[in-house]
Amino acid sequence: MHLYSDTLNRALSSPNLFFGARQGIGVLLPIIVFIGLLNEHEMGFAFAAGALAIALVDQPGGTRRFRRKEMFFTLVMGNLAALTTGLAKPFPEILWLVIGAQVFGLSMLSVFGKRGGLVGFCCLLMMVLSLSSDSVSSLPIMEQSLLTLAGSSYYFLLSITISYLFRLFEVRLTLAAAVYATARYMQARADFYDVNNDLDACFRRLLPRMISMTDAHQSARDSVLRSLPED
Whether 109 and 117 have beta carbons less than 8 Å apart is answered as yes
What is the average pLDDT across 28-33?
90
What is the average pLDDT across 112-123?
90
What is the average pLDDT across 149-161?
94
Per-residue pLDDT tens for 34-52? 888 888 888 888 899 899 9
Answer whether residue 110 shows pLDDT above 50. yes
Q: pLDDT at position 154, please?
A: 95
What is the average pLDDT across 202-226?
85
Answer whether residue 84 shows pLDDT above 50. yes
121 versus 131: which is more confidently predicted? 121
Q: pLDDT at position 5, please?
A: 58
Neighbours of 109 (CB within 10 A): 21
Q: Report the SS3 class of residue 157.
A: helix
| Rg (the chain; Cα; Å) | 22
Cα–Cα distance list, 52 to 39, 78, 156, 186 (Å): 20, 11, 10, 38
From CA 139, how far away is CA 19, in angstroms rounded? Answer: 32
Q: What percent of the chain has pLDDT over 70?
A: 89
Answer whether residue 1 shows pLDDT above 70. no
pLDDT category at 6 given cuts 50, 70, 90 is low
What is the average pLDDT across 88-114?
89
Answer whether residue 136 shows pLDDT above 60. no
